[in-house]
Amino acid sequence: MAVGIEKPPVGLSRVAISQTHGENSPYFAGWKAYDENPYDEIKNPSGVIQMGLAENQVSFDLIEEYLKQHPETSTGGDHNSNFRENALFQDYHGLPSFRKALASFMGQIRVGRAKFDPDRVVLTAGATAANELLTFILADPGDALLIPTPYYPGFDRDLRWRTGVKIVPIHCNSSNNFQVTRQALEEAYNSAKAMNVRVRGVLITNPSNPLGATVQRQVLEDILDFVTKKNIHLVSDEIYSGSTFSSSEFVSVAEILEARNYREAERVHIVYSLSKDLGLPGFRVGTIYSYNDKVMTTARRMSSFSLVSSQTQQLLATMLSDKKFTENYIRTNRERLRKRYDMIIEGLKKAGIECLKGNAGLFCWMNLGPFLDKPTRESELVLWSSIVHEVKLNISPGCSCHCSEPGWFRVCFANMSEQTLEVALKRIHDFIKKQR
């Protein structure tokens, strides 16, 4: 029989075949280990405990309680016109009542030190979409954003994959608690220039992921001065702003702008979301708050690709407008997160492990440097592998966050019960004892 000539298969795009999604990186290998053998208090007590997912489950009961007491919120009301309007509502301006509630919530988190105009709130289906969208708007393919290391591993995918934009790291180290310095900013900018790459902006996460610490006021001022000098943008991802253990320790770039009378505000854009502070990542609610009209208008139109469900907007509008609820939630959430943080720090200390002094977020930045064979990335990955496969804890290695110092690990503590956290701490304790 004649052998047929194989037709070339129909091709896919470069984006489709690119590896920029990063799902084959070691960071995700830990997730795989968890998926294959997930810990369960009763059914699988020797399974892998997920400490690599920054999810906030400590205050969910408050939301559950609210929904139980206000059942009409979830269906958007049975009223005739209400339902019809809601079902048909796909205006990318977003539900006015929801924007108002969200703007007010953001102000509450900053304890009134900054005010947000509901008309500037642009809604997106999650902060992932918000960050990508801003990147599309602020930079052309081949341009770069400067990001302080260590940073959230997802940025490599979210900011670069479809946009074609590069990330140039601003190197930070433990000598000053990984704070961004003026020198580091200049060095990053110059290294981009040397590569013939145009820098379009600086992107910071405040409070920081993975550090679990707020950015100091002076550092924010320095960064703002820097971007002004270079005439570039500043994106401040404040997704963890409601998860600071004490409300007074967080300084938002919004406050600094207000203090400066909004001079140079046109280059500043804030990203926020309800995924962390409210523990509702499944709802897919994110926002871009830009002080630049052109960016705001464009973002709004571009949000067509990533709109928030009108039903969800309706549900949350009611909940977030309830000032009593939000105040209680924010305060309780902070307390519980602090309690968790103290618990894990204490537990790690007992095992002889130090962490970076943190004051926010759903994780701590743990230093296993002293336990490395050699101060290298390879050593870190070897240690990490034994923690995932022998100790059965999925934690995130610093190299996946582009940390220039080996030995640091991000450990999440808010996505589990206290009992599970105890189990995890005991496992670490035993592991370290064996190492000695």
Partner 1 sequence: MTQTPVSDYEDDKTRRPSSPSSRGGGTTAMRVIVPLQGVVQGRGGLILGSIIPCALFYFLQLYLKRNRSKSPSPPSSSSAENLPEVSVLHRSASRSFLSPRSSTGPAYVSSRANLIVKSGDSPYYVGLKKVNEDPYDKFANSDGVIQLGLAENNLTLDLVRDWLSENARDSIVGGDLSISGFATYQPFDGLMELKVAVAGFMSQVMNNSVSFNPSQMVLTAGATPAIETLSFCLADPGNAFLVPSPYYPGFDRDVKWRAGVELIPVPCRSADNFGLSITALDRAFTQAKKRGLKVRGMIISNPSNPVGNLLSKDMLYSLVDFAREKNIHIISDEIFAGSTHGNEEFVSMAEIIDTEDFDRNRVHIVYGLSKDLSLPGFRVGVIYSFNENVVDAARKLARFSSISAPTQRLLIPMLSDTRFIERFIRTNRERLRKMYTEFVTGLEQLGIKCAKSSGGFYCWADMSGLIRSYSEKGELELWDKLLNIAKINVTPGSACHCIEPGWFRCCFTTLTENDIPVVMERIRKISETCKSHS
Q: How far apart (Å, rounded) are the C-alpha atoms in residues 111 and 104?
A: 10
Residue type, 400: S
CB of 191 to partner 1, least distance (A): 19
Site string (64-103) toward partner 1, x via CB under 8 A: x--xx--x--xx--x-x--xx-xxxxxxxx----------
Site string (259-278) toward partner 1, x via CB under 8 A: ----xx-xx-----------
CB of 370 to partner 1, least distance (A): 33
Which member of 1, 2, 13, 175 binds partner 1 (CB under 8 A)? Answer: 13
Q: How far apart (Å, rounded) are the C-alpha atoms in residues 93 and 91?
A: 5
CB of 1 to partner 1, least distance (A): 18
Q: Tell whether omega for the bond before 96 is within 30 degrees of 0, i.e. cis.
A: no
**Closer residue to partner 1 (CB): 162 or 377:** 162
Task: Sheet containing 363-367: give its strands across.
Answer: 354-355, 363-367, 408-412, 396-397
How many residues bind partner 1 (CB under 8 A)? The answer is 87
**Closer residue to partner 1 (CB): 100 or 300:** 300
Cβ(301)–Cβ(92) under 8 Å?
yes
CB of 65 to partner 1, least distance (A): 10
Cβ burial of 112 (10 Å; 0-12, 13-18, 19+) is exposed
**Closer residue to partner 1 (CB): 63 or 343:** 63
Cβ(334)–Cβ(245) under 8 Å?
yes
> Which of helix, strand or coil describes residue 116?
coil
User: Where is 317: in which H helix or E strand?
Assistant: helix 310-321
Residues 295-354 that bind partner 1 (CB under 8 A): 295, 297-298, 301-302, 304-312, 315
CB of 199 to partner 1, least distance (A): 10
CB of 26 to partner 1, least distance (A): 18
Which member of 294, 349, 350, 426 binds partner 1 (CB under 8 A)? Answer: 294
Which member of 33, 185, 213, 280 binds partner 1 (CB under 8 A)? Answer: 280
Known catalytic membership, residue 152: yes
Residues 185, 227, 141, CA angle at the centre, nearest 5°? 85
360 forms beta bridges with: 244
| Piece of 188-196, 236-244, 258-266, 340-348 that binds partner 1 (CB under 8 A) | 258-266
Q: Does 40 bind partner 1 (CB under 8 A)?
A: no
Q: Does 175 bind partner 1 (CB under 8 A)?
A: no
- DSSP sequence for 262-301: TTTGGGEEEEEESTTTSS-GGG--EEEEES-HHHHHHHHH
**Closer residue to partner 1 (CB): 257 or 428:** 257
Known catalytic membership, residue 239: yes
> Which of helix, strand or coil describes residue 403?
coil
Q: How far apart (Å, rounded) are the C-alpha atoms in residues 241 and 127?
A: 13
109, 239, 270, 353: the active-site residue: 239
Active-site amino acid positions: 152, 237, 239, 276
